[in-house]
Amino acid sequence: MSWARPLVLGRLVRLAWLLPLAAVGLFTLISLAPIDPVQAYVGDRTALVGSDQRAAIAAAWGLDRPATERFGAWLGGVAQGDLGRSITYDAPVSEVIARRVPASLALIGTAFVTSFVVGTGLGIAAATARGGVGDRILRSLAVVLSASPGFWIAILLIAVFAIALGWLPSCCAAPPGLTLAEVGIGDRLRHLVLPVATLSVVGTAPLILHTRQRLVVFLDGPAAQHLRAHGLTERRIAFGAGLRHAVGPALNLHLAGAGELFGGSVLAETVFAWPGLGQATARAATGADAPLLMGIGLSTLLLVFCGNLAADIAARIADPRLRHPRP
Amino acid sequence: MTLRARDVGLSFAHPGTHPDHAPTRALEGISFDVAPGEVLGIAGSSGAGKSLIAAALAGILPPAALLDGGITLNGTPPSPRDIALAPQRLDALDPLATLGRQIRRLGGRRTDPAALLARVGLTARVARAYPHSLSGGMARRALLATALAGGAAWVVVDEPTVGLDPEAADRVMALLRALAEEGRGLVVISHDLPRLARIATRVLVLQDGRAVETAPAAAFAGDGTGLATAFARRLWQAQIEDPAC
């Protein structure tokens, strides 16, 4: 693993300049957004809140100061481990994130594993049946899935499994009126099914096509032909030597797509009222909650960074040619 | 015990085309015998069908290929385990597996990769190496080691000297001769006629998919007057006059 150390160190150096750059970019975008946090807070009580009260709210949140000063204050807080206070939830940002991370991790983690297993499994099945009816059906399915918007899949799943059949709940992580601690594992899993199914679709379709393609290239290539010449069966070739050619790149692609998975979770959590970071992101965005958006944005950056690093490590483990690239 | 090819022909069908579109004939009337300890050389110009004979012997012809005539081993069709192939392309080695793993894949878990690698002149350390870290000559030898892994008594070697410097090419050819002397029957396909003639028992010369001559190796000497056909003589003379050979 002599290649791992320089890789990780190089990536950490990149993170060191990427984080402040992303923070400046994020803060600029939030400051330029045409949403007034005070108006978003006041909402339909406009007639009840006068200009003095609005000014007082703005002053309490520090919005009366110039953007550069606010950014400086936020940066000073971050240096001391304080991510600021969320306007939307009226609580410290770190607390909001910490409270919501487990629900998001359960959703994203389950969707990650599900889409990987289903996507690579179907991709391998399509490759071994290449040119046949099964292959064409699976490819068509992948193309349809990749062309289907996530929100449409969510509505379809709710319409069929929650409303028409009544098998699964369409909302929340637990039945209404109960907290997570009060429900059993079975109930938790039932609530997880539809959001996970919606989120899994995001990653499954490209995995089917990618895995199929990589395995087909191997199976039709000289290395597989060499194994055939020695009498190895198609099954042994595909599920022996071929598996590494298919699964390694699939894992690389999947890990590199961690950011897309988080993006999908914003939609899935909003549609299914899932109490995670995605839902908080949507609320923070509509409320121009700068501290919370900054906190979630930088957490997402770390998640994507870790995903990309894991993807690079996975690629090098799967393919020895990448470990010591020639200049 | 003899590997025998009798009147082997090969056509390529053109599925999806008009029924009048006749299959393309790629090989015609190929016959030879290879006994244990012998090296049959197969030579010919590019596109003559040399590698198709290797594919036919190894049983890996493409689906559109129609084989006729007979390839037999003691009168019965050989199984893929009877005839091993060391293919021409170095990328026939799996780039994602160590040589040791690849040898075990073909020979079984109990196979000792180090012993096989030693047999082809490579050190035991190569068992832990990946193909991309090997030189051309080492990769050729490694391909031979994989061909020997299953213990086949007949080995087909396709263009073993391509991409090798003269010294490495000589070493690989000497190794092939030694493998035959251990009792294996070898079919060696090569465009490198001078080196092939040095190790072969007989050389089959191909022209446009047809066997024009099967000559004893001794006939490939001097200006080739011992050869029966003008094509074989031209092929031989072209190579001995070429300073690259």
For the segment B175-210, what is each residue's pLDDT rounded down to a tens digit?
Answer: 999 999 999 999 999 989 999 999 999 999 999 989
- What pLDDT is recorded for position B46? 84
Q: What is the DSSP string of B95-145?
A: TTS-HHHHHHHHH-TT--HHHHHHHTT--GGGGG--GGGS-HHHHHHHHHH
CA distance B186 to chain A (A): 16
For residue A228, which residues of chain B lie inside 8 Å, CB to CB? Answer: 59-60, 80
Q: Which amino acid, one-letter code, is at A77? A: G
CB-facing half-sphere around the CA of A180: CA atoms within 13 A: 14
At CB < 8 Å, which residues of chain B contact A?
Answer: 58-60, 79-81, 84-85, 87, 89, 91-97, 105-106, 130, 132, 146-147, 149-150
Is A225 close to B93, i.e. CB distance below 8 A? no
Task: Write the CB contacts of A295 (distance below 8 Å, at least 6 apart in sequence).
Answer: A83, A84, A86, A93, A94, A96, A97
Q: Is residue B121 part of a domain?
A: yes
Chain A residue at shortest CA distance from B128: A320
- What pLDDT is recorded for position A119? 94
- What pLDDT is recorded for position A325? 62
DSSP state letter for B17: S
Cβ contact A138:A288 at 8 Å = no
Average pLDDT, chain B: 89
Is B92 close to A319, i.e. CB distance below 8 A? no
Q: Is residue B129 part of a domain?
A: yes
Q: Is residue B69 part of a domain?
A: no
Out of A226, A248, A319, name the one closest to residue B92 (CB): A226
For residue B89, which residues of chain A lie inside 8 Å, CB to CB? Answer: 222
More confident of the two residues A248 and B17: A248
* A-B Cβ pairs (cutoff 8 Å, strict): 65
For residue B52, which residues of chain A lie inside 8 Å, CB to CB? Answer: none
Predicted confidence (pLDDT) at residue A299 exceeds the cutoff of 80: yes
Copy the structure tokens of residue B57: 């012997």
Instruction: Provide the H-helix boundaries in chain A.
Output: 4-32, 37-42, 51-60, 67-79, 93-128, 133-147, 150-157, 185-219, 222-229, 234-236, 242-256, 258-271, 277-286, 290-318
- C-alpha A240/C-alpha A234 separation (Å) is 10
CA distance A303 to chain B (A): 29
More confident of the two residues A144 and B14: A144
Cβ contact B91:B139 at 8 Å = no
Out of B79, B91, B147, name the one closest to residue A231 (CB): B79
For residue A319, which residues of chain B lie inside 8 Å, CB to CB? Answer: 95-96
Selected residue of A130, A219, A226, A233 to mutate for chain B interface (largest B Cβ count, 10 A): A226
More confident of the two residues B133 and B47: B133
Q: Which domain holds residue B120?
A: 89-151
CA distance A113 to chain B (A): 24
**Residue with structure tokens 């090798």?**
B164
- What pLDDT is recorded for position A326? 56
- What pLDDT is recorded for position A41? 73
pLDDT digits (tens, 9 = 90+) for A97-132: 999 999 899 999 999 999 999 999 999 999 999 989
Left if phi > 0, otherwise alpha if psi is -120 to 50, otherwise beta: which for B200?
beta
Out of B95, B106, B130, name the one closest to residue A230 (CB): B106
Domain count, chain B: 1
- The C-alpha angle A280, A145, A139, rounded to 5 degrees, equals 150
Chain B residue at shortest CA distance from A231: B80
CA distance A318 to chain B (A): 7
Q: Is residue B229 part of a domain?
A: no
Selected residue of B94, B104, B128, B154 to mutate for chain A interface (largest A Cβ count, 10 A): B94
Out of A225, A228, A240, name the one closest to residue B105 (CB): A240
For residue B84, which residues of chain A lie inside 8 Å, CB to CB? Answer: 229-230
At CB < 8 Å, which residues of chain A contact B?
Answer: 221-223, 225-232, 240-241, 244-245, 248, 318-321
CA distance A321 to chain B (A): 7
Q: Write the ipTM.
A: 0.87
Average pLDDT, chain A: 87
Domains and CATH numbers, chain A: 92-322 (1.10.3720.10)
pLDDT digits (tens, 9 = 90+) for A226-272: 999 998 999 999 999 999 999 988 998 888 888 888 888 888 888 88
Q: Is residue B235 part of a domain?
A: no
Out of B80, B130, B132, name the one closest to residue A229 (CB): B80
CA distance B121 to chain A (A): 21
For residue B106, which residues of chain A lie inside 8 Å, CB to CB? Answer: 227, 230, 232
**Residue with structure tokens 């190569």?**
B126
For residue B58, which residues of chain A lie inside 8 Å, CB to CB? Answer: 229
Is B94 close to A223, i.e. CB distance below 8 A? yes
- CA B100 distance to own-chain centroid: 23
